[in-house]
Amino acid sequence: MRIVLLGAPGSGKGTQAQRLVARLGVPQISTGDLLRSAVARGTPLGLRAKAAMDAGALVNDEIVIGIIRERLKEPDAARGYVLDGFPRNLAQAQALASMLADIQAPLDAVVLFEVDYAEIARRIAGRRTCPNCGTIYNVHDAASRGITHCRNCDVAPLLTQRPDDNEQTVTRRLSVYDEQTLPLIGHYRALGLLRSINAMGSVAEVESRLHKALAASAQAARA
Ligand code: ADP
């Protein structure tokens, strides 16, 4: 399946995308992760992206669209993928649609994660990431409480907090989401692709709602 996860920063897209990968056997394609990796490696692209990311602004469309265009050509994306953090505005959605039209491989579903802002602030404050494998943990989750090192890596690196997960940058990221990303809801609804899920509650609860939404999309496509 070719799936887009849509939702505010901290709404749980990354966490659920990591779980979907295991279930569907398709890759997670996260522009945030790809950009953070470019920044960490100090590539020219990373150097161009860093200032926008640190400020909580969107990275230039041309850069992000270029990253996605290359990533979708990788062999592992041929069977499908979970897009997490892309598209984030209408220009990116249009660029994606034209890339997919060229290869006659349209999106199957767009799932909107609905969470209130108080919960977003709580989740972002508690978010910790493995600098090695990118696994996301949250100090508020019973399953991660007290955990300081990654469970999935042999070297068990110390979990870190993303530099853009501070209060000021989060406020900016949320207003960028309202201004630039929210219009995608109407866009995908008009195309008949949008499914909304309640993304409050535990990771397992949201995961089960996500599976139901994807099953409904698959069934609608067969009808
Ligand atoms: P979150 O959704 O939690 O804010 P991400 O990891 O998806 O975090 O993104 C982190 C940052 O990377 C964003 O604030 C933005 O600067 C940049 N970024 C990620 N995806 C895109 C995109 N599609 N377009 C522009 N910038 C992006």
Strands, sheet with 194-198, edge to edge from the N-terminal-most edge strand: 28-30, 81-84, 2-7, 109-114, 194-198
pLDDT 10s digits, 200-221: 999 999 999 999 999 999 888 8
SS (H, E, C) 82-121: EEECCCCCHHHHHHHHHHHHHCCCCCCEEEEEECCHHHHH
Q: Is the CB of 59 under 6 A from ligand 1?
A: yes
Can you tell me which atom of ligand 1 is nearest the CA of 85?
Answer: 7
**Positions marked active-site:** 13, 88, 127, 162, 173
Classify residue 104 by burial, with Cβ atoms within 10 Å: 0-12, 13-18, 19+.
Answer: exposed
What's the rounded mean pLDDT across residues 176-195?
97
Mean pLDDT of 134-141: 89
Q: pTM of the prediction? A: 0.91
Interval 164-176: pLDDT, tens: 898 889 999 999 9
Any idea how long the chain is? 223
CA dist., res. 121 & res. 63, Å (int): 28
For residue 143, what pLDDT is reported?
81
pLDDT for 197 equals: 98
- At residue 158 the predicted structure's pLDDT band, cuts being 50, 70 and 90, is very high
